[in-house]
Amino acid sequence: MGNHSDGGPNDSGTVATAGQNEVEKFQDPGIPPHRLRLADTDPKAAKKAERQVALLFGISVVGTLIFLVAYFAIDLGHDSPIATIRLQNALLGIGTAFAMLGIGTGIVHWAKALMPDHEVSEERHAIRTEEDRQAAVRIVDDIVEETGIKRRPLIRNTLLGAVALAPLPALAIFGDLGPRPDDKLAHTLWAPAPDGRLKRLARDPDGTPIKAADVTMGSAFHVIPEGLNELSEGKLNEKAKSVVLLMRLDPELLNPSPGRADWAYNGIVAYSKICTHVGCPVALYEQQTHHLLCPCHQSTFDLTQQCKVIFGPASRPLPQLPIAVDSEGYLVATSDFHEPVGPTYWEREQHVLERNA
Amino acid sequence: MSSNATPDASVFVAKTSGGRITDFVDQRVGGSGILREFGRKVFPDHWSFMFGEVALYSFVILLLSGTFLTFFFDPSMAETHYAGSYTPLKNVEMSVAYSSSLNISFDVRGGMFMRQVHHWAALLFVASVSVHMLRVFFTGAFRKPRELNWVVGSVLLILSMAAGFTGYSLPDDLLSGNGLRIIDGVIKSIPVIGTYTSFFLFGGEFPGTMIISRLYMLHILLVPALILLMIVMHLFMVVVHKHTQYPGPGRNDGNVVGYPLGPVYAAKAGGFFFIVFGVVAIMAAFFTINPIWNYGPYDPSPVSAGTQPDWYIGFVDGALRLMPGTIGDWKVEQVWFGYMFTFNVLLPALVPAGILFTVMFAYPWIERWITKDNREHHVLDRPRNAPTRTAIGMAGFVWYCVMWAAAGSDLIATHFHVALNDVTYWLRALFFIGPVIAFIVTKRVALALQRKDREIALHGRETGRIVRLPHGEFIEVHAPLDEYKRYKLVGFESPAPLPAVPNEHGVVDRKEKRRAKLSRWFFEDRVAPATPAELEAAHGHHGAHEAVEAAESQKTLSH
Amino acid sequence: MKALSQKRRHPLAAIALLLMGLLVTGGLYAVATTVNQAKADTTTYSASDVEEGGKLFAANCATCHGMGASGSQAGPSLVGVGAAAVDFQVGSGRMPMQMNGPQAYKKPAQFNEEQTKQLAAYVASLGPGPAIPEAGVLDEKGDAANGGELFRTNCAMCHNAAAAGGALTRGKFAPALAGVSGQHIYEAMVTGPQNMPVFSDANISPEGKRDIITYLKQIEANGSPGGADLGALGPVSEGLFVWIAGLGVIIAFTIWLTSRTS
């Protein structure tokens, strides 16, 4: 059974063992005898099947008409109600479905019920014959000989070198796909303005500044830096780094580490909203457990431990934004974040050291 | 030269105008020869052989619906204010790409339908490619001479995922934007080149203004072109190899039994295209997919609960979720030599997918090396008749499914009222023990099914009829099988383990010893097919409880 | 009947049954949730309301919340939580809690409208807190687009962009908002029940809250433009659907296609 193209002394084993037992095996009885279908013997059944096929094709015609009627008769004018869109979508879909399924099931039913259903056996042929192989080898040998590439190693080696180098420009030309990263990831809009004015914390999305008195116990504000909405370009890039979550809890619960005691105001704390795992907004604040949860990969940060990771795939705590209150009672950031926000990148540690130098 | 080119009498002259056109073309392209070669080519018929066609047809549907969408979609990230007819987003600031996707949905007649057709067909495309590959794996269709076609198929799986992912991001909605942000985070974790790669991909900082148009080019040109190329190679090889067939009477490695292409198979396969299209149309008619109007425009601040990728990227997302970022107080992320090694992202993003794809690509060669089987196989294995391969496949499948399930851990938690954290803990455990359990259970089930086959082949089918013999004994009557049905159960090979063989220097080297060990692991537990002698013996003491077990599971080594 | 019992074993029967079951439970759920939309439009409490409320409180709530609502080990103090908190917690059936757990579940309200009002009056009398909202902010005639933006920024991360709900840590969850009355949504925002943060008027103005409610009610009334929303759960339910229903139907067709006609 099969092409015994094996037979080398080293690859007998399994294969040969199986082959040797051939005597004991059941003999292949061949293709079972063909059974006639009802439609093969009964002209009535054949006629019935024929009518069924025609009916299915008829259904397809109806489907096409449904589609056309739904397309032209339903007006998707401006401000058409959602129900109209849903209705048109359903009718277009059902029209297409009937049109397609009618044709498809019709053809298949035709093939199954009326076309000959004799199974036939076809011989397989060798994918490669030995004769072809030898001819091909001869041709390749001749080609190699005629080029003389074997006799002229200088040509061969210089060609190899040239071909190896030639793709380099194709790589280099993509150099302008993007700018150099430099330390762009290490800075956000929260840095004080050049004149030393501190940035106020503003509500996302409308950009109105937030007073400390507005932040009641248990509340969570989604915060952007003042002036972000007025940026003419790069707004989303800046927003992607500078969004902050502002929460107020009992000051007793905060446990700030040395040096961070004045980063909060009266129990109000601000933390970067960008997950240190892969950058989703960590926006889920549980006001009783004081946990922050990232909805993408479930990293959980504990606000009472300076946003240390207590569960999930993130490794680092969320960076904290130092805040204070200005003379008018508005919350301001006293400086930029002391470390880059968001997911870890290769050069991050360098930027951390630079920032805290 | 052609001065004497007068038509001689034997030259064929077509009579109808259609015939003349056909003849004109035929004389210039040689269609007759092609038709003669392929017109009656035989294709075996089995439902599980249709998944490749489902994939091909979904791809055609994708090309058709995708072309329609490109006429209305504008991949620009410029800012605009929505002025279309969906009131809950009226005048909201958004990108042109998102706004044009909304217009396709709400203001272009049939646009919603085409969007949904396109997205459902995309999900179906990757799903059918996957099921097709599972079928090929579990039936051993990847064996010689089809190893290279298996590789092309694996490349197609990866390309189909790439096509899906690049398309998923195009509407620039909140869900896909957060998906891109996750990709950006994963890219940034790559040592040395990560930051640069991210800046190059996005044309600067995330999200920038370039990414949608770049993905658009990849999605509508590069990736589909590659898919098309691979499909051509795939089908070319199918023609060269001819189709495989399931074992059965009259089928062997030297023939192919089935229906001729024309008319039966062509009609079935052609009709099936319309059926697949019809099924996709029903889904698009009645089931919303990717409701971008719910998600809103991309903005880096908001996020929706249940932010997940489309299903085929799910296993990577799930792996990201399962990886702990801290173990106790020890951070998985490390600072070495002043640089960051983000193992909590790198390991889950690269290792499971890397293992799955490497094993997938290499498996035909791995099995070939262990079994030293260099013959061509055109008759498939029933999965039960290759217990170890089936078990390996199931272990991999379960492993994939654990990661896949992890991508929905939050939905598992809310819908089954369990704690999110517990779901993660369980899945972390299953990540390691799931494949082992799957391997053991599958192998035992496969062997049990083989024993059942043997039993039926030797003693016939249980009829459920209880008969009392004259001396008072009750037996169940077994109906003997006809020879065709019996051959289906016995006509398979059951290779024994292949011990180490010395090489040409007469030495059994280490590699060969390792191979022999693996061969033993592969074939040790086996159930030999029933033989005519055994059938004879079974019929000999008819009615009694025969010793079926005696002849099987011989753990004997040949040689 | 015989035909039915034969078809019961058909491979598609399970799918059909599943779909039927889903439709029935969905329908029942929709009916059940529309019944519970009480509208309290008065915030003036009489002395008798307070008195009656005090009695109800002592009988039903004081075990956990303490006499005088001053709190105990089992439940927080209710001084200053306001009438809105009571109307939300009692009106949505979350209080009284059946048992301790990560979170109080929504269930049929145990007190009628009158009793809820009396309880609210009593708790409101203990200290100033958020009042039950005026009808003006619940008219669902705000700016839906602005409400949508506010919802996505402040609410969608827990409640899901389509308000279908989502998971929180350790068994807690943010519920789906379909079928929740505008009044309860408003009260939840001002009081921050359980682990939900408080969205005071300084955070989201009453107009903003009105816009959010308008948005939620509008998307609920609109339904999903593309057909059934599959729970509005995003790619997970879509993936499950294509694998089970989509591939399932196609496999059924392939089996028919390759079977022999008798």
Residue C28: pLDDT band by 50, 70, 90 thresholds? Answer: low
Taking a contact as any Cβ pair under 8 Å apart, which residues of chain A between 74 and 133 contact chain B? 74, 76, 78-80, 85, 88-94, 96-108, 110-112, 115-117, 119-124, 127
> Distance from A94 to chain B by nearest Cα, in Å?
6
For the cut 70, the answer to whether the pLDDT of residue C101 exceeds it is yes
pLDDT at B6: 54
Residue B555: pLDDT band by 50, 70, 90 thresholds? Answer: very low
Say if A231 is an interface residue toward chain B (CB within 8 Å).
Answer: no
pLDDT at C38: 33
pLDDT at C3: 53
Q: Write down the mean pLDDT value for chain B.
A: 90
Say if B543 is an interface residue toward chain A (CB within 8 Å).
Answer: no
Closest Cβ opposite residue A236 in set B240, B286, B300: B300
Q: What is the pLDDT of residues B193-203, one digit of tens each?
A: 999 999 999 99
In angstroms, the CA C68 to CA C123 distance is 9
pLDDT at A212: 92
Closest Cβ opposite residue A288 in set C195, C222, C256: C195
Residue B74: pLDDT band by 50, 70, 90 thresholds? Answer: very high
Residue C41: pLDDT band by 50, 70, 90 thresholds? Answer: very low
pLDDT at B7: 52
Contact call for residues B319 and B313 (beta carbons, < 8 A): no
pLDDT at A19: 42
Which of A173, A344, A350 is the best residue to mutate to test the B interface, defined by the most B CB atoms within 10 Å of its own CB?
A: A344
Residue B506: pLDDT band by 50, 70, 90 thresholds? Answer: confident
- All partners of chain C with 3 or more CB pairs under 8 angstroms: A, B
Residues 6+ apart with CB under 8 A from B453: B384, B489, B490
Percent share of chain B, pLDDT over 70:
95
Q: What is the pLDDT of residues B16-50, one digit of tens each?
A: 999 999 999 999 998 899 888 888 889 999 999 99
Q: Which residues of C141-150 are buried (b: 16+ CB within 10 A; e: fewer)?
A: ebbbbbbbbb
Taking a contact as any Cβ pair under 8 Å apart, which residues of chain B between 30 and 89 contact chain C? 45-51, 54, 86-89
Residues of C in contact with A218 (CB under 8 A): 192, 197-198
pLDDT at B4: 52
Q: Residue B23 CB: number of other CB atoms within 10 A? A: 15
Q: Identify the weakest region by mean pLDDT among A74-88, A299-313, C133-147.
A: A74-88
Find the distance separating the first CA and the last CA of chain B, reported in whole Å.
71
pLDDT at A20: 46
Residue B379 DSSP class: B
Beta strands in B3-149 (DSSP E): 42-43, 79-81, 93-95
Q: Which residue shows structure tokens 């013996």?
A: B537
pLDDT at A58: 97
Q: Where on the phi/psi map is residue A212: left (φ > 0), alpha (ψ -120 to 50), or beta? A: alpha
Residue A336's nearest CA partner among A182, A228, A193 is A193
* Tokens read off for B538: 């079974």
pLDDT at A1: 35
| Mean pLDDT (whole number) for C77-92 | 88
pLDDT at A56: 97
Q: What is the pLDDT of residues A168-186, one digit of tens each?
A: 999 999 989 999 999 899 9
Q: Residue C7 CB: number of other CB atoms within 10 A? A: 11
Residues of A in contact with C194 (CB under 8 A): 288
pLDDT at C107: 86
For the cut 90, the answer to whether the pLDDT of residue B441 exceeds it is yes
Residue C13: pLDDT band by 50, 70, 90 thresholds? Answer: low
Bridge-based pairing state of the strands A300-302 and A291-293: antiparallel
Phi and psi, residue B530, nearest 5°: -65, 150
pLDDT at B388: 94
Q: Which residue has the higher pLDDT, B319 or A1?
A: B319
Residue B101: pLDDT band by 50, 70, 90 thresholds? Answer: very high
In angstroms, the CA A91 to CA B281 distance is 10
For the cut 70, the answer to whether the pLDDT of residue A12 exceeds it is no
3-state secondary structure of B342: coil
Residue A3: pLDDT band by 50, 70, 90 thresholds? Answer: very low
For the cut 50, the answer to whether the pLDDT of residue B550 exceeds it is no
For the cut 60, the answer to whether the pLDDT of residue B484 exceeds it is yes
Residue A71: pLDDT band by 50, 70, 90 thresholds? Answer: very high
pLDDT at B559: 37
pLDDT at B399: 97
Percent share of chain B, pLDDT over 90:
74
Contact call for residues C260 and B268 (beta carbons, < 8 A): no
Q: Which residue shows structure tokens 């299209």?
A: B277
Percent share of chain C, pLDDT over 90:
35
pLDDT at B411: 93
Q: Which residue has the higher pLDDT, A134 or C194?
A: A134
Beta strands in B242-338 (DSSP E): 255-260, 326-327, 330-331, 334-336
In angstroms, the CA C262 to CA C259 distance is 9
pLDDT at B100: 96
Write the DSSP string, A285-354. Answer: EETTTTEEE-TTT--EEEGGGTTEEEESS--SPPPEEPEEE-TTSBEEESSS-SS--SS--TTHHHHHHH
pLDDT at C129: 85
Percent share of chain A, pLDDT over 90:
69
For the cut 90, the answer to whether the pLDDT of residue B329 exceeds it is no
pLDDT at B76: 95
Q: What is the pLDDT of residues C231-244, one digit of tens each?
A: 889 899 999 999 99
Look up the pTM and report it: 0.90
pLDDT at C66: 84
Q: Write down the mean pLDDT value for chain C.
A: 84
Q: What is the pLDDT of residues A189-223, one digit of tens each?
A: 999 999 989 999 999 888 999 999 999 888 899 99
3-state secondary structure of A221: strand
Cα dihedral: C15, C20, C25, C28 (round 10): 170
Which stretches within chain A are classed as H helix?
Answer: 13-20, 38-41, 43-73, 82-113, 130-147, 153-165, 168-172, 235-242, 348-355
In angstroms, the CA B156 to CA B360 distance is 13
- All partners of chain B with 3 or more CB pairs under 8 angstroms: A, C
| Smallest CA–CA distance from A296 into chain B, residue | B307
Q: What is the pLDDT of residues C207-224, one digit of tens each?
A: 999 999 999 999 999 889
